[in-house]
Amino acid sequence: MTLNQVRAALARVGLVGIEADEERGAVVLTGAVASWDQYVSAGYAAAGQGFRGVVNRVEVSGLGQQPMALPKKADGSLDGLEYDVVVIGGGVIGCAIARELTRWSLSVALLEKEEDVAKHASSRNNGMVHPGFAPTPGSRKAYYNVRGNRLYDQVADELGFRFERCGSLVLLSASWHRLLYPVAARRARRNGVDGLGLLGRRAVLSREPNVWPGQRGAFYLPSAGIVAPYEVTAAYAENALQNGAAIHLNTVALGFTVHHGRIEAVETNRGTIRARAVVNAAGVWADRVAELAGDRFFTIHPRKGSIAILDKKTAVHQSMVFGLLRLKGVGHSKGGGITRTVEGNLLIGPNAIEVPGREDYSTDPTDLEYLMTHHLSLNVKLRPSDIITYFAGVRAATFEEEFIVEPSRSIANLVHAAGIQSPGLAAAPAIAADVSEMVAAQLARQMEVRANPNFRSRRQVSPRLAQLPLTERARLIRQNPAYGRIVCRCETISEGEVVDAINSTLPALTLDGLKRRVRTGMGRCQGGFCTPELISLIARETGQPPTAVTKSGPGSELLVAETKVGATNGGGGHQ
């Protein structure tokens, strides 16, 4: 509990010349190291020594502060707006919080620096709704994971997103690992995980005939589930909008006006917004947002993970999630495995690598090789040639490896939802419920907070034809023939669905936005056939020239000019 303990811990990992001080109950590290690995080791060494958190200000030689990608837009269009609550961050956590806040008669705004929600970790994970077995008993992670998992059936029903409780298998690589079952059972009981079972080798094979032949049984976790994480995020955001919340995209919090321990306003690139309460759900940037409010007590250190997506053809080879029991643990990750998606692809990964770049989504050959050697073999039917694409995401990890879900201790109207890495997606419904209560409690001290009589928990959903019975499809096509015209052939997405997404309450105006909303371009051709179609549909619906259409916001324009002959008015695919 003393700084000397921290200093001793730093010395033990061979780090000298790092200063440790205390600030607001957190340990603050300063000094300089030669490598990012040393920066990370310093943070871990200081964690768990009884302080509230680690503020790692150690500099890494040759490495400046990692820049945040900022919106290009700068106008005063939001200047002077006033909200009861401003939520910073449009990931699954921020969007879920915004939606939960609309249960009260509060004016709610969500600020997202990107041109769409779910651009970072919330669209860059394997979509698993973890059962809650992995987190340490007694931790906030365990509490929110298990509670969030249980809430998913209801939330999925209300918001109309797909959720499957497919179950997961933690495969055992040695027969004696079965002896660990009582330990596992105790952990499951302490965390409140429902239905843990022990399956013998044959029982595993009878359920999953293509499983890795080296397995010697498995822990079976029936409550594990899967969702499309971007679909969940957009569903929360849309329901928040339908209940009166505002979502300001391309809007980044640049500072706070703090007076007498209260935030009075949020300064953004689009003007100053007055706020009675603020929620920090800024993902990998949550420590910076806390710092802007003068309330930093933790550090986000980015941990990258890569995931490979397999062709939908592979869906028949597996019905549950596969992982491997790793006694030693792989760093601070659950070790990855093979997950299914609600759309039918299999996913392999993720791995876990500490990186300095908080928005570094580049992939490397070594990541993919790791996935192929460690994960692909868990299912004997899978081949490297089944991989259609791969991507990386960055986890917003703290050195305590724990969620931060709490009201600020120094700012009276700020709540932090930070350090929400895996199993954050599973935990989101529960975190959102608690955070909205915390905000309501803070606001209740200055205003009357009543229930919103107009709150509608059910989201109005646009039809997704591929999920409907043929008779229902036929009826929709009669109503709107655009549902009859397929533009994304690999995923069978119609023009009508694309147009709905472009014109929805949460418009998808980019190629990537459409991909997250309706799945166009996610199939085996990876947009080869539908990209020109989608460009012309976005242009037509928004009244922009096709040269203004982007992949992922300004700067990512897809076309540079008309050809010498000139454009042919929308292309030959339809006339």
- The answer to whether 165 contacts another protein (rule: CB under 8 A) is no
Nearest approach in angstroms of CB 500 to another protein is: 15
309 to 349, 386, 390: CA distances (angstroms): 9, 8, 6
Instruction: For the segment 215-244, give every residue that binds another protein (CB under 8 A).
Output: none
Locate tokens 């019975």: which residue? 469
Cβ-based nearer residue to another protein, 37 or 562? 562
> SS3 sequence, 89-128?
CCCHHHHHHHHHHCCECCCEEEECCCCCCCCCHHHCCCCE
Is 573 a binding residue for another protein by CB under 8 A? The answer is yes
DSSP 333-357: B---EEEE-TTS-EEEE---EE-S-
CA dist list (Å): 58 to 46, 156, 288, 489: 12, 43, 15, 51
Which residues make Cβ contacts (< 8 Å) with residue 12, sequence separation at least 6?
45
CB of 526 to another protein, least distance (A): 4
Strand runs (DSSP E) across 203-252, as ranges? 218-221, 225-227, 246-248
Tokens coding 459: 């989201």
Residue 563 in contact with another protein, rule: CB under 8 A: yes
Residue 190 or 478 having the CB closest to another protein: 478
Catalytic residue among 130, 248, 301, 416: 130
The CA distance from 451 to 394, in Å, is 36
From candidates 110, 378, 501, 535, binder to another protein by CB under 8 A: 535
From candidates 363, 377, 452, 505, binder to another protein by CB under 8 A: 363
Q: From residue 289, how far is each of 21, 96, 360, 480 by CA, in Å?
A: 21, 19, 19, 46
- Whole-angstrom Cα distance, residue 381 to residue 318? 9
CA distance 496 to 403: 41
Quote the least distance from Cβ 172 to another protein, whole Å. Answer: 32
Q: What residue type is assigned to position 501 of the chain?
A: A
Binding to another protein by residue 551, rule CB under 8 A?
A: yes
How many whole angstroms separate alpha carbon 91 and alpha carbon 282? 8
Candidate list 410, 505, 526, 542; residue touching another protein; CB under 8 A? 526
Backbone angles phi, psi at 347, to 5 degrees: -120, 140
- In angstroms, give the least distance from the CB of 389 to another protein: 4
Size of the site for another protein (CB under 8 A): 67
For the window 446-485, what string marks contact with another protein as x by the rule CB under 8 A?
Answer: ------------------------xx-xxx-xx--xxxxx
- Closer to another protein by CB, 147 or 516: give it: 516
On the question of a cis peptide bond just before residue 350, with omega within 30 degrees of 0, the verdict is yes
Q: Which residue number, 331 or 573, has a Cβ lying nearer to another protein?
A: 573
The correct pick among 197, 222, 244, 570 for binding another protein (CB under 8 A) is 570
Closest CA to 574 of 502, 486, 505, 506: 486
211 exposure class (CB count in 10 Å sphere: 0-12, 13-18, 19+): buried
Compare residues 65 and 569 and give the one whose CB is closer to another protein: 569
Q: 234: closest CA among 403, 373, 118, 62?
A: 118
Q: Applying CB under 8 A, which of residues 60, 355, 486, 548 lies at the interface with another protein?
A: 486
- Minimum CB distance to another protein, residue 511 (Å): 8
Minimum distance, C-beta of residue 229 to another protein, in the bound complex (Å): 17
Task: Establish if 186 lies at the interface with another protein (CB under 8 A).
Answer: no
Distance of alpha carbon 27 from alpha carbon 160, whole angstroms: 44
- Which run of H or of E encompasses 291? helix 286-292
What minimum distance in Å lies between the beta carbon of 314 and another protein? 12
If one asks whether residue 351 binds another protein (CB under 8 A), the answer comes out as: no
Minimum distance, C-beta of residue 116 to another protein, in the bound complex (Å): 14
- Residue 8 corresponds to which tokens in the numbers above? 């001793």
Residue 554 beta carbon to another protein: minimum distance, rounded to whole angstroms:
8
* 273-332 binders of another protein (CB under 8 A): 313
**Token pair belonging to 475:** 């009826």
Nearer to another protein by Cβ, of 265 and 488: the residue is 488
| Closest distance to another protein from the beta carbon of 414 (Å) | 31
Inter-axis angle of helices 92-101 and 424-444, to 10 degrees? 40
From 202-210, 247-255, 421-429, 567-575, span contacting another protein (CB under 8 A): 567-575
Does the annotation count 260 as an active-site position? no
* Residues 40 to 99 in contact with another protein, rule: CB under 8 A: 69
Single out the residue of 52, 461, 529, 541 in contact with another protein (rule: CB under 8 A).
Answer: 529
Q: How far is CA 467 from the centre of its chain?
A: 24
**Before 302, cis peptide (omega within 30)?**
no
**Is residue 498 near another protein by the rule CB under 8 A?**
no
Q: How far is the CB of 464 from another protein (least distance, A)?
A: 14
558 near another protein, judged by CB under 8 A = yes
Span 367-426, contacts to another protein by CB under 8 A? 368, 387-391
Q: Is 200 in the site for another protein (CB under 8 A)?
A: no
With respect to another protein, which residue has the nearer C-beta, 140 or 358? 358
Sequence-ordered alpha helix ranges (H) in 411-452: 424-444
Among 365, 373, 445, 543, binds another protein (CB under 8 A): 365
Binding segment toward another protein, per CB under 8 A, in 58-66, 214-222, 435-443, 548-556: 548-556
Position 492 contacts another protein (CB under 8 A): yes
Interacting span for another protein (CB under 8 A) from 238-246, 257-265, 406-414, 530-538: 530-538
The angle formed by the CA atoms of residues 504, 508 and 511, to the nearest 5 degrees, is: 150
Note whether 542 binds another protein by CB under 8 A. no
Q: Which residues bind another protein (CB under 8 A)?
A: 69, 313, 359, 361-365, 368, 387-391, 470-471, 473-475, 477-478, 481-486, 489, 492, 511, 524-529, 531-532, 535-536, 546-547, 550-568, 570-575
Catalogue the active-site residues: 130
